[in-house]
Structure 1
């Protein structure tokens, strides 16, 4: 017989996320003593102290609380999935899906995915987190997000990945560049020109590795963490860049045309994939999200690899 209720677990998660019993009670629309009592009872049943309580300063998780929080979030998702399945007999999805996305990918791929998901399943609420890869992995581990979109670079082996789309690196050149009459260029032909490096993680290491592959040291003139800043610097004639993500428009934010050219060098490509935590359960909402990503961006509507 289960001794801890889903209500107690939901109060625990709310208090952990807000750092406040009072705020957890407000979100649950119940009296503060009800939340306090439920969490205290949960701690008694588990024989664990989940929070450190500081007068007038709210609550903070103990080590045990931190360990239990991801599983608590996962249990609430499973309960929500079960309830939705029972309510509509499996024909319509409801509830919330939390999605992370690497910031460079987000503006190019995510809006179309969101629009298609909303069209097919209007009763599901999508919560979007744009982050660095390190932050997304942390949020996947703690259960704050359920699935993420990222490039498959430096992702720990234990995370569950489904490859959706493969993209080669391309040279990005300003208007009037001497090589624009060429259908493709090599890194050797650009070696003496100023290079603009996208230095957000893990992009920086990937792009520098490309030069290592061909034995060339880039002449780094500028670095920027923003994908669009890199493009705009190229447009302003400050140098060339190497990028993988390519928007449909070749106009920069400040209204200048830039030009993409394939690279003739044998270089490693990047793979866009969905990522899940090693211990996560594949909910119907998450499976549907992955299916839509595959439908929109995979060749012939099939994933490039199965989840690992």
Structure 2
């Protein structure tokens, strides 16, 4: 058995057992991939894949164990390459950040320019998607870091650390009736008051939407959500054309930039949320990745990051994270 066979098996699994797609990614032929897999199974003496005719349908029970071992081996092979790069080129390389639109648009611009000044030879890329897509990017090593609020801590093989906390903000036009509330009344704004108006907010996979739905459900209220979007700018656009009131992440509202709107904090209604950093468990991280993480969250030590990555979990990392967690608004 050899590393090439391991790569073929891993990519076949990643491509949902589609040999044509796996061979395309591996820059080889489909018969070559199929032959390598069969030779591996013959040498090992067990069937790794379940088949229906010539089509691969899934993993056998021993195949599940084999796949787990191969994944660990390939992680370490990749780590060897990264160690070599680290000592040969300590201040150059690439940093791919998988993030939601909110992180890319509102949070990361506070840090990426400074990172580029410190590491001008590091090429930075942003890859946007849903939280689960971001997690898969990191697990498949298409990205170094994932940054999102939902789902990351629930994904097997991903170590996560808290980055910052935030609350939702209600966005309305300056002439909306809710702007007539006094400061005290705004702080005590109720769900019953909000539910009187059409609502524009996030898609269910993004930015704490589940807590919005849960808050209304707990009070037996049925909000009229007329539009869902993954982008706070889109939400504000439709608030501007008076389709309804918007509920967005607080980090996406800036009174100076959003002078055409009024923002009312509603954390007391929808709770406090934590945006998390996701890293592949067991992966070797370049020094500049640790520096970037420290820029995002100064309280986050290198020891805490290493503990999370090497423990395949979040508990130790959270315990090592120095409270209080920084709030971004």
* Partner residue in 1 for 2:234: 229
* Partner of residue 81 from structure 1, selected from 79, 82, 94: 79
* Partner residue in 2 for 1:196: 200
Residues 107-129 of structure 1 show CA distances to partners (whole Å, capped at 9, x for unaligned) of: 43457767776773856786835
Tell me if 1:257 matches 2:260: yes
Work out whether residues 153 and 206 of structure 1, in 8 Å CA contact, stay in contact via their aligned partners in 2: no
Work out whether residues 99 and 126 of structure 2, in 8 Å CA contact, stay in contact via their aligned partners in 1: no
Tell me if 1:295 matches 2:300: no
Taking only aligned residues, the RMSD between alpha carbons, in angstroms, comes to 4.5
Work out whether residues 195 and 222 of structure 2, in 8 Å CA contact, stay in contact via their aligned partners in 1: yes
Tell me if 1:10 matches 2:7: yes
CA shift at 1:234, angstroms?
Answer: 1.4
Q: Evaluate the alpha carbon distance shift between residue 130 and residue 114 of structure 1 in structure 2; reply closer, same or farther with a 3 A threshold.
A: farther
Structure 2 distance, partners of 1:59, 1:110, is: 42
CA shift at 1:42, angstroms?
Answer: 1.8
Normalising by structure 1, we get a TM-score of 0.70
Q: Evaluate the alpha carbon distance shift between residue 303 and residue 88 of structure 1 in structure 2; reply closer, same or farther with a 3 A threshold.
A: closer
What are the residue-to-residue correspondences of 1:1-308 with 2, within 5 Å?
4-18=1-15, 19=17, 21=19, 24=22, 27-29=25-27, 35-51=33-49, 59-64=56-61, 65=63, 68-69=66-67, 71-89=69-87, 92=90, 100-109=98-107, 120=119, 122=121, 128=127, 130-131=129-130, 133-136=131-134, 147-151=145-149, 155-156=153-154, 160-180=159-179, 185=186, 186-188=188-190, 190-201=194-205, 203-211=208-216, 215=219, 217=221, 219-227=223-231, 228-247=233-252, 257-263=260-266, 265=268, 268-276=271-279, 280-285=281-286, 289=289, 291-296=291-296, 298=297, 301-303=298-300, 307-308=317-318
Structure 2 distance, partners of 1:46, 1:293, is: 42
Structure 2 distance, partners of 1:154, 1:212, is: 24
Q: Gaps (5+ residues) in structure 1?
A: none
CA shift at 1:175, angstroms?
Answer: 3.4
Work out whether residues 164 and 275 of structure 2, in 8 Å CA contact, stay in contact via their aligned partners in 1: yes
SS at match of 2:262: strand
Work out whether residues 215 and 269 of structure 2, in 8 Å CA contact, stay in contact via their aligned partners in 1: no
CA shift at 1:226, angstroms?
Answer: 2.8
Structure 2 distance, partners of 1:95, 1:60, is: 38
Q: Evaluate the alpha carbon distance shift between residue 250 and residue 267 of structure 1 in structure 2; reply closer, same or farther with a 3 A threshold.
A: same
Work out whether residues 199 and 224 of structure 1, in 8 Å CA contact, stay in contact via their aligned partners in 2: yes
Structure 2 distance, partners of 1:123, 1:62, is: 39
Q: Evaluate the alpha carbon distance shift between residue 31 and residue 236 of structure 1 in structure 2; reply closer, same or farther with a 3 A threshold.
A: closer
Structure 2 distance, partners of 1:24, 1:116, is: 39
The structure with the greater share of residues assigned to helix is 2
Structure 2 distance, partners of 1:94, 1:264, is: 41
Q: Evaluate the alpha carbon distance shift between residue 82 and residue 154 of structure 1 in structure 2; reply closer, same or farther with a 3 A threshold.
A: closer
